Amino acid sequence: MDYQSVIDKIRDEVRELWGQGRVADYIPALAKVDPRQFGIAVATLDGHEYSTGDAQVCFSIQSISKVFTLAMVTRHVGDDIWDAVGREPSGNPFNSLVQLEYEQGKPRNPFINAGALVVTDRLISLYPHPKDAMLEFVRSLCGNDDIYYDKEIARSERLNADRNMSLAYLMKSFGNIRNDVDTLLDVYCHQCAISMSCVDLARAFLFLSNRGVNPFSGKQVLSVSQAKRLGALMLTCGFYDESGDFAFRAGLPGKSGVGGGIAAYIPGNLAVTVWSPELNRHGNSLAGMAALEHFTTDIGNSIF
Topology annotation, domain 3-299? Beta-lactamase (3.40.710)
Q: Is 240 a catalytic residue?
A: yes
Which one of 3, 50, 149, 240 is the catalytic residue? 240
From first to last of the 304 residues of the chain, give the pLDDT tens digit.
999 999 999 999 999 999 999 999 888 999 999 999 999 999 999 999 999 999 999 999 999 999 999 999 999 999 999 999 999 998 777 777 888 998 999 999 999 999 999 999 999 999 999 999 999 999 999 999 999 999 999 999 999 999 999 999 999 999 999 999 999 999 999 999 999 999 999 999 999 999 999 999 999 999 999 999 999 999 999 998 899 999 999 999 999 999 999 999 999 999 999 999 999 999 999 999 999 999 999 999 999 9
Where in the chain are the domains? Answer: 3-299
Whether residue 3 contacts residue 161, with contact meaning beta carbons closer than 8 Å, is answered with no
Which one of 188, 197, 209, 272 is the catalytic residue? 188
Residue 241: the pLDDT is 87
Hey, which bits of the chain come out as E strands? 39-44, 49-53, 59-60, 148-149, 194-196, 254-256, 261-266, 270-275
Q: Is 187 a catalytic residue?
A: no
Whether residue 162 contacts residue 186, with contact meaning beta carbons closer than 8 Å, is answered with no
Residue 160: the pLDDT is 93
* Rounded Cα gap, residues 269 and 249, in angstroms: 19
Q: Is 188 a catalytic residue?
A: yes
Residue 6: the pLDDT is 98
Q: Is 265 a catalytic residue?
A: no
Residue 46: the pLDDT is 96
Which one of 51, 63, 195, 276 is the catalytic residue? 63
* Rounded Cα gap, residues 256 and 238, in angstroms: 7
Residue 240: the pLDDT is 87
Which one of 66, 119, 149, 302 is the catalytic residue? 66
Residue 281: the pLDDT is 93
What single-letter DSSP state applies at residue 144?
-
